[in-house]
Amino acid sequence: MPTYHSPRPIEAIGHSTSFQKLLRLVERVAPTHQTLLLNGPTGSGKEVIAQLIHQRSADPSAPFIDLNCGAFPEHLVEAELFGHIKGSFTGAQSDRVGHLEMVGKGTLFLDEIGEMPMSIQPKLLRVLESKTFRPVGGSEVRHFKGRIVAATHRDLYAQVKAGSFREDLYYRLNVIVLELPRLSQRVEDIPILIDHFISRHSQPLSFSREAIAYLQHYAWPGNIRELRNLIERLATLAETSLISLELLHSFLPNPHSEIKISADVLADAMLALPAKDKLAAAEQIIIERALERTTGNKTAAASLLGISRKSVERRLQLRAERKPASVRYLHKGQDLVRKNNYLAAIESFNEGIALLDGIAMDDEIRTLYYAFYRLLAVSYQNLYGWLSTQAYDNYAAAIALGKKLGDERELVGLQLWCWPSYLMSSELQRVRTLSQELLQLGLTEKTLYLWEEAHVAMASARFWAGDYTETLAVLARSQLLSDIPFLRDTPGMDFVGQALTLEGLASFQCGDFRRTQLVLQQLCQRVNDPHSDALRHIVSLLGAVWLTFLLEERQQTKALAAQLITLAQAHQLEFYCGMGKLFYSYVAHLQKEDGPVEKDIHDCYQTYFSVKGECLFHGLYVWLSGEILLATERPADCIALLAQTLPVVTQGESRAFISELFELQARAKAQAEGHIPAEQAYRQALSTAEILGAIPAQINASVGLNHILAALGRPLERLQLAQRMQNVISGESEILLMTRAQQILNN
């Protein structure tokens, strides 16, 4: 396995449009630390591009190591990659450093990643996500400091469907994909590639015009490698330095020889095309391919197809007629998204896509499709939640198109599209990884909205992980809470409203209750702003509902939740409607309204969240359900519910409100089991809250513990508890929580 500490300069040979587009993409991604996937047919130069990326990286003097994942038995691939400890397997007679460690801050090139054994794939995924690994047979955690560039000639998505490649690893690799063109797609580069390969040999060669034309029409199944090998054979075996067409025939097969393809196979391939009009789509594909092979010459393409030039032009006119109408549907849909009329927007986008059906795909049409699918995903996401299958499918379609465009703005955006679904599934580390990778790229005018979204994603992950102080720090680094109106009109999004909500929630947990109340005022102002659109009203309403719930302003919570339900239903936004119903049902129970409120909360959670696989709000659901059980004098049921929940929550990534669950458990034990078990539970709740820095839970746990100590006649410990509380409580705020806190200080 070669290791390049000072690799020779890599020459990028080619002036074709497809190859220059690839090189522009290389220039953008090379200086970053992004994991990259090179996708291209055998012989297309994937290793050369990997070396070029390394050569233009931030540290080209660092090692470049390549590993062919299909060239070794399974246990040897693992040992080569991770290293091994002496005695870890037969033949391991000493410790050995693996490529992950050996590469340092350089580039590890994993060729034929599709051949990687399934047993090693989860270990590679851990390296990509946590930058850590363990050598074979060892327990010591080591750190990977370099960058991975993977390559394949296979269809990895098809392998995922077949069960031979992990889906999570596929999506982790399939963030930035560099597509390498076939040699037949860059025929104008063939003459200069020939000159380049000839220069490596002492035997001079020249080609006749007919021979060059022959090579430019040859199919090149082996791509650049086949061309290089041809030049080597000619330099060695040709008896003359002038390569004529006749001489070339003895080295390569006739490109016009009959290719026997079953009519059934060809027909099935046409019927599998995604377009509605299969015949039109097949026709456009054939025309496009003919134009590619003739480098855009319509007359030559018509000759190849056996039709007239006018026939080619007439069929190409389809694009000129339909594209403007499709663009109008796109603009109409964008306006509808801004007005939060997502169902009508979806209809408009689908009409626009239908007009593109059958039109030959190029970058211009691909860009249109990308815009349609991305906005369809946003619309479905707002209607049915972040785990909507329709949203996911359209995002996936957008990614498949967007990664071929090479535009910087779309390139970085592809990394972030899936963070809300990861958040709702409580995969917080994945959210942090995605947002951190984007933030490392830096802020530009083109990436502004992505920069701000990355901060919202990072702050969300920090909050739900229970890291409240860092949540506020992330928000402070963003521009979302400033007075400068950087971001106010991203269609289908309200990052400012989300940021304000996170600020209020995190401030409350940090004990800054005045700041929480100020944020609540800002959210209510947005709700009442006649110039704000419906989505901003809805996002702000949800934030206000959250904060009034925490501040125990029950009547206001109920009123705002009712308003949220009404507005969300009017715009058919299921997620926001579900959140409103969850809080409304809870307050309705506290106010002793008639009806099976506990069942309402359960049904609401199942309908809007659990059935879709969303588990982020499970802790909130258990908290509300437990409070209802206590209020209906069923502490034993509350204890049983928490006994099922707390072990799961403590092992998961989401720690937000875990302190509240421990405090709830202590109150339930005080009702059901007496002072001694309750004291232990309160002390556990207090300790958990102190570790997480959750001030409200510290106060409530201290209040409960104070009552227990009073009942047990232990005044000295009550005094010590009051002294601890003095260090927690700061400032003044007229909220119920602070009133309870004063009970301890006034002992």
Give 598's pLDDT tier (boundaries 50, 70, 90). Answer: low
Q: Is 42 left (phi over 0), alpha (psi -120 to 50) or beta?
A: beta
Return the HEC string of 119-153: CCHHHHHHHHHHCEECCECCCCCEECCCEEEEEEC
364 versus 656: the higher-pLDDT residue is 656
Check pLDDT > 50 for residue 713. Answer: yes
Q: Which value, in Å, is the radius of gyration of the alpha carbons in the chain?
A: 32
pLDDT for residue 733: 61
pLDDT for residue 1: 44
Q: Among 227, 118, 112, 224, which Cα is nearest to 165's?
A: 118
pLDDT for residue 124: 93
Other C-beta atoms closer than 10 Å to the C-beta of 296 total 10
Q: Among 529, 606, 542, which Cα is nearest to 568's?
A: 542
Check pLDDT > 70 for residue 445. Answer: no
Check pLDDT > 90 for residue 573. Answer: no
CA distances for 544 relative to 231, 524, 622, 634, angstroms: 72, 7, 21, 30
Other C-beta atoms closer than 10 Å to the C-beta of 428 total 24
- In angstroms, rounded to a whole number, what is the distance separating the alpha carbons of residues 74 and 180? 28
Other C-beta atoms closer than 10 Å to the C-beta of 422 total 21
- In angstroms, rounded to a whole number, what is the distance separating the alpha carbons of residues 534 and 378? 15
Give 651's pLDDT tier (boundaries 50, 70, 90). Answer: confident
Terminal-residue alpha carbon distance, the chain: 74
- In angstroms, rounded to a whole number, what is the distance separating the alpha carbons of residues 538 and 529? 12
For residue 216, give every residue at least 6 positions away whose Cβ sits within 8 Å of its Cβ, in sequence order, or none.
187, 188, 190
- In angstroms, rounded to a whole number, what is the distance separating the alpha carbons of residues 317 and 366? 17
488-616: CATH number = 1.25.40
Give 4's pLDDT tier (boundaries 50, 70, 90). Answer: very low
Angle (CA) 255 260 265, round 5°: 125
pLDDT-wise least confident of 141-150, 328-337, 415-424: 415-424
| CA atoms within 13 A of residue 2's CA, in its CB half-sphere | 9
Angle (CA) 545 525 574, round 5°: 40
DSSP 3-state of 86: coil
Check pLDDT > 80 for residue 178. Answer: yes
Q: Are strands 36-39 and 147-152 parallel, antiparallel or unpaired?
A: parallel
Check pLDDT > 60 for residue 484. Answer: no
- In angstroms, rounded to a whole number, what is the distance separating the alpha carbons of residues 403 and 21? 12
Check pLDDT > 60 for residue 611. Answer: no
Check pLDDT > 70 for residue 504. Answer: yes
Catalogue the long-range contacts made by 722-728 (C-beta closer than 8 Å, 24 or more residues apart).
Answer: 722/747, 725/698, 725/699, 728/511, 728/695, 728/698, 728/699, 728/702
Predicted confidence (pLDDT) per residue in 392-401, tens digit = 788 777 777 7
532 versus 710: the higher-pLDDT residue is 710
For residue 345 the two structure tokens come to: 């927007």
Identity (one letter) of the amino acid at 635? P
pLDDT for residue 686: 93
Give 735's pLDDT tier (boundaries 50, 70, 90). Answer: confident
Task: Assign domain 3-181 to its CATH superfamily.
Answer: P-loop containing nucleotide triphosphate hydrolases (3.40.50.300)
Q: Per-residue pLDDT averaged across 704-729, rounded?
A: 87
342 versus 94: the higher-pLDDT residue is 342
pLDDT for residue 46: 94
For residue 306 the two structure tokens come to: 């056996």
- In angstroms, rounded to a whole number, what is the distance separating the alpha carbons of residues 109 and 148? 6
- In angstroms, rounded to a whole number, what is the distance separating the alpha carbons of residues 142 and 146? 13
Give 50's pLDDT tier (boundaries 50, 70, 90). Answer: very high
> Average pLDDT of the chain?
84
Identity (one letter) of the amino acid at 714? R
Asked if CATH classification 1.20.810.10 holds for the domain at 184-249, the reply, yes or no, is no
421 versus 112: the higher-pLDDT residue is 112
Check pLDDT > 60 for residue 126. Answer: yes
The residue to which tokens 């506020």 are assigned: 472
Q: Per-residue pLDDT averaged across 563-577, rounded?
A: 91
Torsions phi, psi for 451 (to 5 deg): -60, -45
Q: Are 582 and 624 in contact (CB under 8 A)?
A: yes
Identify the helix (H) or strand (E) that includes residue 334. Answer: helix 309-338
The residue to which tokens 């209607």 are assigned: 383
Q: What percent of the residues of the chain are helix, what percent strand, and what percent coil, each to the nearest 5?
A: 65, 5, 30
Give 302's pLDDT tier (boundaries 50, 70, 90). Answer: confident
pLDDT for residue 397: 78
- In angstroms, rounded to a whole number, what is the distance separating the alpha carbons of residues 536 and 628? 31
Identity (one letter) of the amino acid at 431? V
Q: Are 554 and 578 in contact (CB under 8 A)?
A: no
Identity (one letter) of the amino acid at 64? F
- In angstroms, rounded to a whole number, what is the distance separating the alpha carbons of residues 279 and 295? 24
Check pLDDT > 70 for residue 402. Answer: no
Q: Per-residue pLDDT averaged across 695-707, rounded?
A: 93
**In the chain, what are the domain boundaries?**
3-181, 184-249, 488-616
Is the pTM higher than 0.85? The answer reads: no
For residue 625 the two structure tokens come to: 């359900």
- In angstroms, rounded to a whole number, what is the distance separating the alpha carbons of residues 584 and 566? 12
Give 409's pLDDT tier (boundaries 50, 70, 90). Answer: low
Q: Are 480 and 455 in contact (CB under 8 A)?
A: yes
For residue 668 the two structure tokens come to: 């339930």
